[in-house]
Structure 1
Amino acid sequence: MKAAASFPSSVSTFKSEHGFSITVARLRGLLADKGMTIFVDIDQADAAAQVGMTLRPMRLIVFGNPKGGTPVMQANACAGLLLPLKALVWEDDARVTWLAIDDVTGALVDGYGLEASLVEPLAKAKALVQMAAARDPV
């Protein structure tokens, strides 16, 4: 990741101990293992190539669990602008793989007026993204 990169404090980034393809596979596997639905997996580099542009390897994985997200959207329909959750996996110019996730729980509580206890289950997604980046225990 370039040092000049800027993003909100709600975004957490993790340097992966694995290559790009393995990191994507690990993230998808962890999400599935935890009962998450992967709604869409967007290959952003492929989309760029389709219009004659180049982009380093980058995938946006849109995921969630309707058991956790539905009550949030029932309480405030506009919360659907932040849900489902999204994780970004990309490779930088040095071929280092990174993952990022935006913890939307603060925005849902502060901006959408939802109870913290209602959105708390969504915060667990950050740990899954971090696990995908980590080296396996020996």
Structure 2
Amino acid sequence: MFIKNKSAHSFDKTVSLTLEFLKLKAIKVFSVVNHQKNAEEIGLIMENETVIFFGSPAVGTLLMKENPEIGIELPSKLLIYSIGDDTYILYKDPEELVNLYGIKEARNAIEKLNLLYRLIVNNII
């Protein structure tokens, strides 16, 4: 299940606020993929859409040590996109990872990730 929140800000402001928040919290940003820009480069037009890949190697490593297959979900990511004048933040509910990958010992890492997503969204929207 995905969790979607509407931002009170423009697309560009939502992206910049998200990146600023991650930097402020010393959370590593691994990559920022601008789908609109990539589409534009090959002559296609689409609305704004960016994925931010971020996380903590310490937290991710705990999860992957318990079940290496969870690595397909990492690093964590947020999708920020716009439809018309509305901007949304979307992410996968970390609680789903518990059952999907049988996480027991690193449950605390999932709780930290869940809290982080909520902090990001609450500080941005």
Structure-1-length-normalised TM-score: 0.82
Distance 1:13 1:37 in 2: 22
Aligned mate of 1:112, from 101, 112, 116: 101
1:57-90 residue CA offsets vs partner (Å, 9 max, x unmatched): 1110011111211110111111100111110111
Higher strand share: 2
Q: CA deviation at 1:26?
A: 0.5
Give the corresponding residue for 1:101: 91
Q: CA deviation at 1:132?
A: 4.3
Higher helix share: 2
Contact 1:105 1:122 in 2 (8 A): no
- DSSP-derived class of the 1:39 partner: strand
Pair 1:32 & 2:36 matched: no
Distance 1:48 1:121 in 2: 34
5+ residue gaps, structure 1, are: 1-9
Q: What letter is aligned with 1:110?
A: N
Q: What letter is aligned with 1:91?
A: S
Give the corresponding residue for 2:47: 56
Q: CA deviation at 1:129?
A: 3.2
Aligned residues: 123
5+ residue gaps, structure 2, are: none
Percent of residue pairs identical: 27
Q: What letter is aligned with 1:85?
A: S
1:1-138 equivalence runs, <5 A: 10-93=1-84, 95-106=85-96, 108-115=97-104, 116-134=107-125
Structure-2-length-normalised TM-score: 0.90
- DSSP-derived class of the 1:55 partner: coil
Give the corresponding residue for 1:6: none
- DSSP-derived class of the 2:103 partner: coil
Coordinate RMSD, CA, aligned: 1.4
